[in-house]
Structure 1
Amino acid sequence: MPAMDESRHPFALLTPDLVLDALATLGLMGDGRLLALNSYENRVYLAHLEPGTRLAEAHPALVLKFYRPGRWSAAQIAEEHAFAQELAAAEVPVVAPLAIDGQTLHAHGGFHFSVSPRRGGRAPEPGDLEALEWIGRFLARLHEVGARRRFTDRPAVDLAGYGHEPRDWLLAHGALPLEVEREWADASGEVLAWIGQHADWRAAAHPGVPPGRPITCLRLHADCHWGNILWTPTDQPGGGPHFVDLDDCRSGPAVQDLWMLLAGERAERQRQLGALLDGYEQARPFDRRELALIEPLRTLRLIHYSAWLARRWNDPAFPAAFPAFGTPDYWRGQVRLLRQQLEAMQEPPLVA
């Protein structure tokens, strides 16, 4: 791919004309209508095809995803696509990229991009126990496929990548106001030290660790929250949930794909977890030791998420969408959350 001008915003050159030109390089003729879809990390567009042109009969409209330059390598994106297609072949309901002329990953104008079929749907209601049981069954099927082989290029959900590296980046780049930097550094260091001593999945990402039946590490969706699940009416063919956006797929413990679907007070989360596992265990066994990883994983996500926002701050979409980020009040709130998480990690885990 041509080198990007790093002095400019990564998507500054991604104009509507470039999007349509990228489509045309695949022999797909857009009719000029483009709709930008909700995405912060990448840029995603709904493009309508000219009637009678290539693929237009089967797919009158297609979704084009332009990957953020410099985030994933071509090999890492290819692993995402291969995983999505493997899931689709196993009839796990995911939206996988289309293979056009034998390729799912394309390049134009300095960007990698993919083309996917349009799939509608709405986000399920958080806390819907029936929906959670259904989602649990599909997650088990996703994990059955995920356990068949390993990623070779994509990273893992682990203490180093989700905790230490983003914390070190934030402190090294002066991302925090001076009046709260030391307090946040102490709180984040304390929770990471606790996780390093107590979280038992560490061996899962390192097969050479001595035995003791480590928790299994498998290929995951890894960003499985309600916004990445769409629901279509169950009285229609293929109705029910389907998963979208495997952009963050990584290796890790199975519980990583469950815990973000839990919300509310402890009793509510307990019921929701029970419904998820009722569905999950209809298709695949679940290692109950992983329940002790829920709060450590939630804690790591807090640190990882703050670093993600800071790293993207030169993208105009981020200040507009997250105006409170970076203020002293934001970071004081993070300190409070990390202190609360230190207590939560020391409580008995949820049971189901």
Structure 2
Amino acid sequence: MRPKEPQGMILPFVQQTPTPNFDRPFLNEVKESFHRLWNNPDALPYLVATFLAVGIVIILGVLYNQFVSRRRYRSALPAGWFVDPGKIREIMETALDQRSKIEMRFLPAEPSRRSTSCSLLELGVEALTLELPDYVESGPSWLHREVECFFRVPEEKGQISFYRFTSVIQNVSRTVDGFAQAELAFPKLLHNHQKRNFLRIAPPAYLFLGVAMWLERRLPTDEHGCPAANLSSWGKPMFTYIPDKNGNPVRIANISAGGLRLDIERSAVKGREIELRVSDRIVILLDLYDPELERKQRFWLRCRVQNMQEDYDTRNLELGVQFVSVGRLAEDADREVHWHDVGEDGIEPLAVWVMQRHLELFREKGLD
């Protein structure tokens, strides 16, 4: 005997589902019609073509959605960010062909941690290989550590592009000749920090340890028309900048590997017999502080005045100069300087210094 269902009990969903509008004979008829169509030799090609067309439409729809999503993702990336593996490899291959140095440093970056200048040896499918300097002692402690790398790539018309990426050290080894090598995971993101003639920054004042400026036409010259090598014959500079000194008349507004911009106070020029003109040559002694090396870097620079204007509000003189020669002190005499022409790529040590300071400002303030 079937038990009586309790009052108020909710019946199962299947029992509550209403009967479909079509009955079983109708379903059987549809099934038989489909079976006859499938077994009909004349209709079979049309049926197969229909299935293929539907499949192709579905595949094209999936591919289109992926394409649209990828384009939206790329358009949402900040300017100068590369995520396409092919584009990243193309840039890295250019760096390899140009023998560009890779500056590598461990993360998290700290002032006490110095960057290491490495040579890019090989680009693999999933990794790249760097050759380390002789003085670097690598070992198992390097494995799986995150590093930050940057490099510069010369381009047409003297332009230079600076790139940065982060990676992880996958392996360290030594060749039969004793050269240390590090294998890094191939970067998934490449950041173009700035693309123009030269990366230009306005670093904090504490990084400038001293500036002295001479007007070249007032200096004694050698037989080639360059300033005399003997620094003792130069006399006092026209303007100077000394840290922590009140009343510094000159300030460096920005700097790059190819030039800099000076801001000279109006009071320092007014009433003095100083006639500066565009295309004039000036000589600058520049002392910069390197936080990584914790020491001073000194540059002797022959410059050409490219532009000159007076600030509307302060009446200060703004001077834009281009480096034409870099001086090196003689090995046997620290009071003699010899000049060497500056190429299209600018001054290499200064370019590295500028790029490192730019990275520090980027990390601290999110500059682009």
TM-score computed with the length of structure 1 as normaliser = 0.25
TM-score computed with the length of structure 2 as normaliser = 0.25
Greater relative contact order (CA < 8 Å, ≥ 6 in sequence): 1
Greater C-alpha Rg = 2
- From the two aligned structures, give the one with the greater strand fraction: 2
